[in-house]
Amino acid sequence: MSVTITAADINKLRQTTGAGMMDCRKALTETNGDFEAAIDWLRKQGQKVAAKRSDREAKEGVVIAKTNDSNSTGMIVLVSCETDFVSKNAEFVAFAQSIADAAVANDVKSAEELNEVEINGNKVSEMINDKLAAIGEKIGIRFERVDAPFVASYIHGANRMGVLAGFNKNASEVGKDVAMQIAAMNPLAVDESSVAPETIAREKEIAIEQIKAEGKPAEMAEKIAAGKVNKFLKDNTLMAQPFVKDNAKSVAEYLKSTDAELKVTGFKRVALG
């Protein structure tokens, strides 16, 4: 059964990947309209595809990242809206800040729980509905949480991005540096061991197809693909990335130079895009 490929489908793939319109049409045709498969198809043809990450969900809004007083829990609250006119409004920023403050004060564990929290007698879900009615724009909430012996928080670019980084021990000296690294370099995972096996397998498959498309012998594909996967892991895992403040060392080497026992236990990064 053939699938109808609409102009909207093509445009969505183009916006996500940065590939040309005709290439996007062909990718969707070849994959029967499967969006994820179409992205992989483009990559297998050797196309430079823009990174697609789950943090690019809301176009506009306010991102607040903060920790509790003991730095053992960090929370990110994103209150999304439709236009930058609203997101830059001081009253809307204060609205988002009040929700983030309430999340921390009530030790909230999930977005659902946050919706039930009361601020001055009103539930957050009711406040969202009231704000929607007042400004006429769709309002949404995204919530992330990190728990660790020490959590560092960082807000970048006038509330455009929030980062939480968890550590196995006090990291007050280096926490912000690592959080800024995560903001700048957008890693997928802490290290190779925390990358999903299916992600590595997918990258290997795409690399092999790229190599074959370049006309290289099949017996070389496996070896070259392994090198490409290693580069992918170096570029996309926090510990292996070059440290942004000193490219001569990796983030792992930077941490070791400050405290041999200090480790990153996890992180969250939420950005407007």
pLDDT of 54 reads 44
Instruction: List the domain range (segments joined by +) for residue 43.
Output: 1-52
9 with 69, same domain?
Answer: no
Q: How confident is the model at residue 1 (pLDDT cuts 50, 70, 90)?
A: low
Residue 210 to residues 41, 42, 203, 217, 247, Cα–Cα distance (Å): 10, 10, 10, 12, 29
Whether 201 maps to a domain, the answer reads: no
pTM exceeding the 0.95 threshold for the entire prediction: no
pLDDT per residue over 52-81, tens digit each?
544 444 589 999 999 999 999 999 999 999
pLDDT per residue over 8-32, tens digit each?
899 888 888 888 889 999 999 999 9
116 with 77, same domain?
Answer: yes
Mean pLDDT, rounded, for 162-168:
98
Q: Rounded to an integer, what distance in angstroms lies between the CA atom of residue 66 and that of residue 145?
A: 10
pLDDT of 243 reads 96
Whether 167 maps to a domain, the answer reads: yes
User: Looking at residue 51, what DSSP letter applies?
Assistant: P
What total of structural domains would you count in the chain? 2
CATH number at residue 64: 3.30.479.20
Q: Which 3 state secondary structure label does DSSP give 196?
A: coil
25 with 48, same domain?
Answer: yes
73 with 36, same domain?
Answer: no
pLDDT per residue over 186-232, tens digit each?
999 999 999 999 999 999 988 888 888 888 887 788 888 889 999 99
Whether 74 maps to a domain, the answer reads: yes
Mean pLDDT, rounded, for 265-271:
96
Whether 225 maps to a domain, the answer reads: no
Whether 68 maps to a domain, the answer reads: yes
Greater pLDDT, 69 or 137: 69
Q: Rounded to an integer, what distance in angstroms lies between the CA atom of residue 133 and that of residue 143?
A: 22
pLDDT per residue over 236-258, tens digit each?
999 999 999 999 999 999 999 99
Residue 243 to residues 151, 230, 250, 257, Cα–Cα distance (Å): 19, 18, 5, 12
Give yes or no for a contact between 79 and 140, defined as CB atoms under 8 angstroms apart.
yes
